[in-house]
């Protein structure tokens, strides 16, 4: 098998080596291995050591050895770094932080772990994936608990980031009762101690019995409970309103606009747009939260004394088909979802003035990183979302079974 081995100079050397089969070793890009699972890293480490033995024997020419060995030592040094670098904090400065969710929560975990705090991640893995935080497992400051937030969890912490609700329409519509319980009972368990532009006072269109209600009403009740516990019990609360978060580690089948567009483009499919075609130009307004920006905003909000809601949104993007090389045949218009917000214009002036927070990651950078992640997922044929088949309808005793 011919493997392409990249030198630091950027040139490519080709060499037949059955020993390297299954692994395209790119020495200049050794950092990619830090994103692999522990098992894959161990497999890669073994193959690198085997390659070194082969190079040390008659199998490797002097020129090939000179080209590869510097990069191989970089790879070996990366294997010895078991965890990302963590800042040392004294006991009095180190916080015990509980994080619920492993998409946004995984990026948040990276930040607060590297800042030197102790982190406990709690998730039932209904939509989350363990591998998003796998790189911290066994670290002395990290703990992962498989637990459903609907059930009480008795643990002593300094801060709680409750980010556990399914935000993907396919997920929260698949199990609306679970979504409602997560937003309400899950929030209650956390709290209990045993208009355009739209500012934080805008509450939006309300339909308490529509298909989105399990999510929308659950969020509204959660905010109400936070405010009630603040007033009655003096519980410190922080409320962040976030919009269409995207980035690496998100589900490809998330069902929202960014993941849909990227996945459809990578697979050569038509881009699906909600709404009817109204002429030669279709305009779509999207409000996005990039995961890296959002994490910084969440940490700033947590460490503030602001108990009222704060909008955290990174970008306002208007997509017009006339600005892109997209023909009508490449766009498929779908019926709009019932009760979907027709227009959003979240105002982030409060976050800017009171937190000193504003987004710094460009749309291009955020999309590129997400596209790279999706490409990697597709390449490895990862199953990013498991939706079990609906259970058969319960058959009453004595009732004959119907046959089609």
Instruction: Kindly list the catalytic residues.
Output: 215
Handedness of CA 155, 156, 157, 162 (dihedral sign): positive
Q: Smallest Cα–Cα separation from 345: which of 196, 205, 177?
A: 196
Q: Smallest Cα–Cα separation from 267: which of 275, 259, 276, 277?
A: 259
- Give the position of tokens 């009760």: 339
């Amino acid at each position: 098998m011919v493997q392409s081995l990249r030198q630091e100079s950027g040139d490519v050397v080709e060499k037949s080596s059955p020993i390297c089969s299954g692994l395209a070793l790119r020495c200049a890009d050794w950092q990619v291995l830090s994103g692999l699972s522990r098992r894959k890293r161990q497999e890669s480490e073994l193959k690198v050591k085997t390659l070194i033995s082969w190079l040390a024997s008659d199998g490797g020419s002097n020129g090939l050895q000179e080209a590869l060995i510097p990069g191989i030592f970089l790879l070996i040094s990366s294997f010895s770094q078991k965890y990302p670098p963590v800042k040392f904090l004294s006991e009095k400065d180190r916080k015990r932080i509980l994080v619920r969710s492993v998409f946004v929560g995984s990026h948040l975990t990276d930040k607060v772990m590297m800042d030197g705090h102790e982190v406990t991640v709690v998730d039932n893995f209904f939509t989350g994936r363990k591998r998003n935080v796998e790189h911290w497992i066994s670290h002395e400051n990290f703990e992962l608990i498989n637990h459903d937030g609907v059930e009480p969890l008795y643990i002593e912490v300094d801060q709680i980031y409750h980010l556990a609700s399914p935000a993907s329409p396919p997920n929260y519509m698949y199990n609306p009762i679970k979504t409602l319980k997560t937003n309400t009972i899950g929030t209650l368990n956390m709290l209990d101690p045993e208009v355009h532009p739209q500012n934080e006072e805008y509450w939006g269109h309300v339909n308490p019995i529509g298909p989105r209600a399990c999510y929308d009403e659950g969020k509204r009740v959660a905010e109400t409970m936070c405010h009630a516990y603040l007033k009655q019990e003096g519980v410190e609360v922080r409320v962040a309103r976030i919009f269409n978060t995207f980035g690496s580690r998100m589900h490809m089948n998330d069902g929202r606009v960014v993941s849909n567009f990227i996945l459809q483009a990578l697979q050569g499919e038509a881009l699906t747009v909600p709404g009817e075609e109204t002429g030669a130009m279709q305009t779509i307004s999207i409000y996005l939260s990039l995961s890296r920006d959002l994490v910084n905003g969440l940490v700033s909000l947590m460490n503030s004394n602001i108990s009222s809601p704060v909008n955290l949104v990174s970008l306002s993007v208007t997509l017009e088909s006339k600005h892109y090389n997209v023909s009508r045949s490449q766009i498929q218009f779908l019926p709009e979802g019932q009760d979907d917000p027709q227009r959003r214009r979240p105002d982030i002036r409060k976050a800017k003035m009171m937190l000193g927070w504003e987004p710094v990651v460009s749309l291009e950078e955020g999309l590129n990183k997400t596209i790279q992640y999706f490409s990697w997922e597709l390449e490895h044929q990862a199953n990013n979302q498991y939706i079990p088949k609906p259970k058969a309808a319960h058959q009453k005793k004595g009732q004959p079974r119907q046959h089609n």
